[in-house]
Structure 1
Amino acid sequence: MVPSRKVLFEEVRAIYAGAAGSLRLTGPAETEHVLPVSTYTGSGVKYEISLDFREGAVECRANVEKESVTLAAGIEDIALAAGIVERRGNVSHSARNLKQFTNLDLS
């Protein structure tokens, strides 16, 4: 079962509250143009958490805007670049509920 946009927004606010405070991010800005998207911004980076109803998935991306170019990366791409994991498929980044989402293992 895919959660509703209301549930997504509530859970994103709960999950990101600590990080948003410690990183001094503004947000969330919540929009529903095509997909429900919750956005946090700060220090030249924009974090977007979106819900894809068809795939039943939540996607998290970090965006850096430089003049007319926007660079975007998903969680797995960032973990690979940071050296947290050695190869694709070694990042657990899925959850069926809030408890699983807050206990994600990036090791």
Structure 2
Amino acid sequence: MRAVSEALSPYAWRRLTPEMVSRRAIVAIDGHGAADAAPVARHDERIGVLVDFLTGCRWRSLTADAVSRQLVTALDTWRHESQWLEIELRWLLDGDG
């Protein structure tokens, strides 16, 4: 979470679009959190997850630390749900075989 907060802090991050905040956050989460690191590519599926989360809340009223915590939590939740979906799909496919 600290890496995400540090990645956002050098910018007027409240003025960034949800997509750009998401792209910067993902760079930090992936371990490339230097303030001057380029944002992740637009086709990264995690961007949509975080943009959907941001558009559903009043993130601009939060602190950088709070936004960072929320973004990391949203991404972790999505990752766990995706893993469970894959497991359940395997169970279904194995049951048919």
- Considering fraction of residues, name the structure with more strand: 1
Structures share fold, TM-score greater than 0.5: no
TM-score, normalised on structure 2?
0.31
TM-score, normalised on structure 1?
0.29
